[in-house]
Amino acid sequence: MLKVPNHQVAGHKAGDGKLGPLVDDSGRFYKPLQGNERGSNELNFYTSFSLNTRIPDHIRRFFPNFYGTQLVEASDGSGLQPHLVLQDLNFRRVNPSIMDIKIGSRTWAPQASEDYIQRCLKKDRETSSLPLGFRLSGFQIYQNRELGFWKPERTSFQSLPADEVKLLLRKFVSSNAYVNLDSKPDCSFASIVYGGSTGILSQLLELKAWFEDQTFYHFYSCSVLIMYEKEFASNGKSPCAEIKLIDFAHVYEGQGVIDHNFLGGLCSLIKFISEILTTPDGCTTEASSKEIQKNQIYFENGTT
């Protein structure tokens, strides 16, 4: 029995007769194979990646398991359709707080079509991608049993400036029951979710080290998912903090060059998260604003 996933924060969604991914009750995620090149590209990537014996295990764990393709009843009622069969990343999760962060200031490959490039470039310039090197593509923050999740519309956060993104990354690891755009985060869970030897920062740094070296693949328009269980953290249990990479419809061969676009964006995200750990009391935003002002005194930039 396939059903609509509970915790999807970005991408096409099933339901209301639309085509989207489904999950079963054994931990598998069924993603419709798009008929165009995106579908075949993503299948090619999963196939290549699963056969690539030079991916170390500590990196492979950041990718969803791949179980091949299967014909299943599509969510839009169009009958049996081919789906990628992947690991359901939220299987056995209870109330996961999730961020979907699209990495890279550029979401298009040099060899993509002109039309696609122009559309992506426009969006990269309109959102946080170009200035920050990544953009928030979706998220949900668990509040408590009464309030459930805070899950705002994508348009409200994908173009935020640096300071606002920093604030959201702080809210993500705060104990506040009621969260919204105006709430003041306490960053209670920063040290156990972002920090520590198995925390998010540590995982991102492992991924970074691999990206400094690997020339197999270039990942355009790919996301890092950051997940944890706020209730577990509140109860003194392990918050099950983990990162996963998803969305490989625009992965290309590396051709002997590292993925400098993904790596740059990843390093930017790492810097944002590191700052929260070094100043967990929330003074980062104000402090960095002061630094910027101080610097502006003797550095006024024109445009060219």
Q: Give contact residues for its own copies (rule: CB under 8 A).
A: 36-38, 40-41, 44-45, 47-48, 51-52, 105-106, 109-113, 116, 121, 125, 130-133, 162-163, 166, 212-213, 215-216, 249-253, 255-258, 260-261, 263-265, 267-268, 270-271, 288-289, 291-292, 295-296, 298-304
184 versus 290: smaller Cβ distance to its own copies: 290
The Cα 109–Cα 48 span in angstroms is: 18
Helix (H) or strand (E) holding 263: helix 260-278
User: Are the beta carbons of 67 and 85 closer than 8 angstroms?
Assistant: yes
- With respect to its own copies, which residue has the nearer C-beta, 26 or 36? 36
Sign of CA dihedral 268, 230, 97, 203: positive
Instruction: Please say which residue, 60 or 271, places its beta carbon nearer to its own copies.
Output: 271
Q: How many CB atoms lie within 10 A of CB 262?
A: 25
Min dist. Cβ of residue 261 to its own copies (A): 6
| Whole-number Å distance between alpha carbons of 192 and 174 | 11
CB 213 to its own copies: min, Å = 7
* Beta carbon of residue 139, minimum distance to its own copies (angstroms, whole number): 20
Nearest CB to its own copies, comparing residues 18 and 271:
271
Q: Which is nearer to its own copies, 110 or 148 (CB)?
A: 110
Contacts of 265 (CB under 8 A, 6+ apart): 103, 104, 105, 129, 132, 133, 134
Beta carbon of residue 121, minimum distance to its own copies (angstroms, whole number): 8
Minimum distance of its own copies from residue 208's CB (angstroms): 9
DSSP 160-178: --HHHHHHHHHHTT---SS
